[in-house]
Chains A and B, each alone.
Chain A
Amino acid sequence: MTAWSAEVLKRHGLTGEEYARIEATLGRAPSWPELGVFSVLWSEHCSYKSSRVHLRRLPTRGPLVIQGPGENAGVIDAGGGHTVIFKMESHNHPSFIEPKQGAATGVGGILRDVFTMGARPIALLDALRFGDPAHPRTPHLVKGVVHGIGSYGNCVGVPTVGGDVVFDPCYDGNILVNAMAVGVARADRIFLGRAEGVGNPVFYVGSKTGRDGIHGATMASEEFGAQSEEKRPNVQVGDPFVEKLLIEACLEVMSEDLLVGIQDMGAAGLTSSSAEMAARSGSGIVLHLDRVPMRESGMTPYELLLSESQERMLMVCARGREARLIELVSRWGLDVCEIGVVTDSGRFVGTWHGQTVVDIPVSALVDDAPKYERPMAPPPPSPPLDLDAFPQAADGDFTPALSDLLARPSLASKRWVYRQYDHMVRTGTVLRPGEGDAAVVRLPETPRGVAISVGCNGRMCALSPRRGAAMAVAEAAVNVACVGARPAAITDCLNFASPERPAVMWSFSEAIDGLALACEALDTPVVSGNVSFYNETEGRGIHPTPMVGLVGLMPEAARAVGSAFPDAGLDVLLLGRVRPGLAGSEYAAGVGAPLCGDAPDLDLTAVRSLVEALLALHASDLIVSAHDVAEGGLAVALAECTFGDAAVGLVAAAPEHAERADEVLFGEGTGRVIVSTRDPAGVERICSQAGVPVWPLGRTAGQRLQITLAGRPVIDATVAELRARWATGFAGAVE
């Protein structure tokens, strides 16, 4: 017989065993607000209870790493006393329920994770996954999410410089909205989420607290069912205007020695921010909940602790500096209020008009939260891909196939999306969306550049979660090297279905191993990240989608190289050699082939050599454009290279790296880059030193894309007609 009914526990997402543990910890039944506190901090979203045992296997150290996982965001050394601070986070479930506000608050939340560390945000990116474009809900979701990201990012004045958008029926009932923020700070002005110094006052800064998103963190950890309609009033509303004031106020406060620690109130709001700060410091905290600025009357301690109202920060102030903190924040018109104090009791205490309503050991909430080694089992092996079932091009002409592929929304131009994002504010955007394989922004106050790439091929992860996850890292590293930056570190956002299914848990574990292998091979440790489980609806889960956001550094932003051919008369070379495969390819999806077979091989040593070769080529100024071969294969990549402002064509001979023409043209496999150069001999020399095979494709010329294979023409079309299909494919699908 427990104090709380099974129904109450279920609504709080707590199992019977978990509840028993709560009673054992407290030595009594929890109060109603205590039950709420346990439910959010022990939720999958906050506690990582299913993933923690696996996340340990990720490499998190390296010479550039200043702060790895465990803080609000990761920090790397960018040289000269500058640091780059970044993180990616999911806002999948809220965005499915209310796409505009869900995506907007996702952007707001990830920005706070970065500026709470003391960073000035300089870039945003978004990796989005939607269902089949033909699904009735998809256009509405795409428009809402893009509008939400734009309305928030544009107003807050941080450029949205990149990202990707992929459509696949596996996301029909569970879209992915993964937002990444990148900021910069001086190495000696990094702030941590710590509640240190007994007697230091705890301040609440920002918007008032309403009843928004109560149990949002728990919602994010439950699979959807028919009843998710009822969860609607929980949706939080973001105010980018207040966020902008909060950024400026926080950075101003941080420029003086006023703070001991700071953390944003994200998922599980006041509860998680305060408990996590106390846990990191091994201290305790007392919150006078009745002092919290409230937006509505009649709010209860339970609601105040669990509210996910946006644009709020918790600050621990150095005692004696309170007046200055209040003065600075008030000038921005924001609420600022002393609501508590740091203690050495090791307890998380909440009071309400002088009466204690919450009293829990901090360690029970955070470090000793439940941790599961969930059962894992590999799914049955995938049947081989039946290549004989693929359509054969009449008279060997693959032009129509290429044209159709370019119009597929996942491959088509994303201009419809990034045109709605201010990608130039802050005047640091050196390579704009669509211009290069990675976004490039300047590192403020220096000539240096920061290159950023996000992505993950879910289909490859479905075929092989280990190889697919490694591919995500490898491809992002190659992207960043293409523009001229050295890959430095990654953040990840691990989107999976229910961890309670052994096959999903197995795929998660495999993906972790894949990430670890690639990060080690490429010297790109993981410095921050997030796990999003339960991306499934009525038993149908998404492909494993371990999204990767990779940051690279370059000595001169002005030397960033785009992906399109800028001119006629350039030699075009293919660097790297893989055996391209059609399993999991966009081409296979386009012709309706089942998702099966073996993911293409991935040679991480070869990818590493390719990255080094590219960096050497950049250092010698030998290449004028560089574009990696990814979704859609070689033919799509070559077509994309002709879609620049110059609209110059290409006459190319494809390499005979596979038996079938469709494999050569559309087969996928990570580790190939198309470069254009005025000095092909110089390129070959450096590549041979680096051990990277080179295939001379041809030269830029005219206004047609002409590709031959073994002497036979396989593609021949004007750049203009291919470009027209590519330029309109996305809008055509969602408008």
Chain B
Amino acid sequence: MRFAVISFPGSNCDDDCVRVVREVLGHDAYKVRHDVHDLDRPDVVLVPGGFSFGDYLRCGAIARFSPVMTDVAAFAGRGGPVVGICNGFQILTEAGLLPGALRRNVCLSFICEDRHVAVEGRSTPLTRGLSGEVLRIPIAHNEGNYCADEETLARLEGDGRVVFRYVAPDGRRSPEANPNGAANDIAGICNERGNVVGLMPHPERCAEPLLGNTDGRRLFDALLAAGADGGSR
């Protein structure tokens, strides 16, 4: 399978995503610059974490205007799987591919630590077969506080589009389990069609035994399985 990893100026998890796909999964991954109009026939598009354009103004606000984003939107429009991680999630919301916005953490500081998330909601290319599981995945962000208006939140919940939720290690929801104040403890959502997923946690940081945790690998394996079924677009 071919993974296109979008690289904006200031992206800093692009190399990590490429590395996991190539060296852990044994599949093909390549970076696509922000200023080109050629995704080069990928099976999956990853929008990685980092500080695109320095995250100045608002996270993702400048990146959404990059030429490559029109191609990402077209790929998503054709049903292609698009996964935005952390800053990638922020970019997808700014670009209108996912609803809502990510605001500053309520504690007003950057947080880097392991967190538990429950996989739930409808099946997506990233989460297929994992519903009900509790995964331990690192977060590393300053703006992960998901918010949306009441109507949007109700629609997301009603349609099973909340696909990752912060929980305690035992899977229960609690205020302490929510690191950033996100509405309804939301850590990740998908679009109406289910092919575009955004999440704040970093699965690429926990996908190999050397790093002491392979929970993230399970999400990448789900992507591979989905790609094997979906074929090339």
- Whether the pair A429, B211 counts as a contact (CB closer than 8 A) is yes
For residue B109, CB closer than 8 A to chain A, the reply is yes
Stretch at the interface among A25-33, A203-211, A257-265, A414-422: A414-422
Q: Mark B100-115, 1 if CB is under 8 A from A, else 0.
A: 0000000001111100
Using A239-B54, A241-B9, A332-B9 as known contacts, say yes or no to A425 and B16 having CB atoms under 8 A apart: yes
For residue A514, CB closer than 8 A to chain B, the reply is no
For residue B60, CB closer than 8 A to chain A, the reply is no
- Whether the pair B112, A240 counts as a contact (CB closer than 8 A) is no
- Whether the pair B210, A241 counts as a contact (CB closer than 8 A) is no
Partner of B12, one of A332, A419, A425, A557: A425
Which B residue sits closest to A418, measured CB to CB?
B112
- Whether the pair A154, B110 counts as a contact (CB closer than 8 A) is yes
Using A424-B112, A425-B140 as known contacts, say yes or no to A430 and B211 having CB atoms under 8 A apart: yes
For residue A9, CB closer than 8 A to chain B, the reply is no
Q: How many angstroms between the C-alpha atoms of A427 and B211 in the bound complex?
A: 8
Partner of A155, one of B55, B113, B210, B211: B55
For residue B192, CB closer than 8 A to chain A, the reply is no
Q: How many angstroms between the C-alpha atoms of A421 and B142 in the bound complex?
A: 10
Which A residue sits closest to B13, measured CB to CB?
A425
Q: Mark A132-162, 1 if CB is under 8 A from B, else 0.
A: 0000000000000001001100111100000
- Whether the pair A155, B10 counts as a contact (CB closer than 8 A) is yes
- Whether the pair B140, A424 counts as a contact (CB closer than 8 A) is yes
Interface residues of A in 5-56 (CB under 8 A from B): none
A contact residues around B51 at 8 Å (CB): 154-155, 157, 240-241, 244
A contact residues around B10 at 8 Å (CB): 155, 241, 244-245
Q: Mark A418-442, 1 if CB is under 8 A from B, else 0.
A: 1111111111011000000000001
For residue B198, CB closer than 8 A to chain A, the reply is no
- Whether the pair A427, B20 counts as a contact (CB closer than 8 A) is yes
For residue B120, CB closer than 8 A to chain A, the reply is no
- Whether the pair A241, B53 counts as a contact (CB closer than 8 A) is yes
For residue A396, CB closer than 8 A to chain B, the reply is no
- Whether the pair A420, B210 counts as a contact (CB closer than 8 A) is no
For residue A658, CB closer than 8 A to chain B, the reply is no
For residue A333, CB closer than 8 A to chain B, the reply is yes
For residue B209, CB closer than 8 A to chain A, the reply is yes
Q: How many angstroms between the C-alpha atoms of A418 and B110 in the bound complex?
A: 10
- Whether the pair A422, B110 counts as a contact (CB closer than 8 A) is yes
Q: Mark B1-32, 1 if CB is under 8 A from A, else 0.
A: 00000000110110110011000000000000
B contact residues around A558 at 8 Å (CB): 209-210
For residue B138, CB closer than 8 A to chain A, the reply is yes
Distance of A425 from chain B, by nearest CB (Å) = 6
- Whether the pair B54, A427 counts as a contact (CB closer than 8 A) is no
Interface residues of B in 77-115 (CB under 8 A from A): 109-113
- Whether the pair B15, A241 counts as a contact (CB closer than 8 A) is no
Looking at chain A, what size class is its interface with the partner chain?
20 to 34
A contact residues around B54 at 8 Å (CB): 155, 239-242
Using A419-B111, A419-B112, A420-B109 as known contacts, say yes or no to A442 and B50 having CB atoms under 8 A apart: no
Partner of B205, one of A151, A245, A427: A427
Q: How many angstroms between the C-alpha atoms of A530 and B54 in the bound complex?
A: 30
Distance of B29 from chain A, by nearest CB (Å) = 13
For residue B202, CB closer than 8 A to chain A, the reply is yes
Q: How many angstroms between the C-alpha atoms of A116 and B65 in the bound complex?
A: 32
- Whether the pair A156, B12 counts as a contact (CB closer than 8 A) is yes
Q: How many angstroms between the C-alpha atoms of A151 and B51 in the bound complex?
A: 10
Q: How many angstroms between the C-alpha atoms of A156 and B20 in the bound complex?
A: 20
Partner of A557, one of B15, B109, B205, B210: B210
B contact residues around A422 at 8 Å (CB): 110, 112, 140
- Whether the pair B9, A430 counts as a contact (CB closer than 8 A) is no
B contact residues around A156 at 8 Å (CB): 12
A contact residues around B56 at 8 Å (CB): 241
Which B residue sits closest to A241, measured CB to CB?
B54
For residue B185, CB closer than 8 A to chain A, the reply is no
Which A residue sits closest to B51, measured CB to CB?
A155
Distance of B142 from chain A, by nearest CB (Å) = 8
Partner of A424, one of B9, B15, B55, B205: B205
Distance of B203 from chain A, by nearest CB (Å) = 11
For residue B204, CB closer than 8 A to chain A, the reply is yes
Which A residue sits closest to B138, measured CB to CB?
A424
Using A425-B12, A425-B140 as known contacts, say yes or no to A419 and B210 having CB atoms under 8 A apart: no
A sample of 18 inter-chain contacts (CB < 8 A) reads A150-B109, A151-B110, A154-B112, A154-B142, A156-B12, A157-B12, A241-B56, A244-B9, A244-B10, A245-B10, A419-B111, A420-B109, A424-B202, A424-B205, A424-B211, A425-B140, A429-B211, A557-B210
Q: 10 closest pairs, A vs B, by CB?
A: A157-B12, A241-B54, A155-B51, A427-B16, A422-B140, A420-B110, A422-B112, A424-B205, A241-B10, A558-B210
Residues of A within 8 A of B (CB): 147, 150-151, 154-157, 239-242, 244-245, 332-333, 418-427, 429-430, 442, 557-558
Known: A154-B142, A157-B50, A422-B140; 20 extra A-B contacts, CB below 8 A, are A150-B109, A150-B110, A155-B10, A156-B12, A157-B13, A241-B9, A244-B12, A245-B9, A333-B9, A419-B109, A419-B111, A419-B112, A420-B109, A420-B112, A421-B112, A424-B205, A424-B211, A425-B140, A427-B20, A429-B211
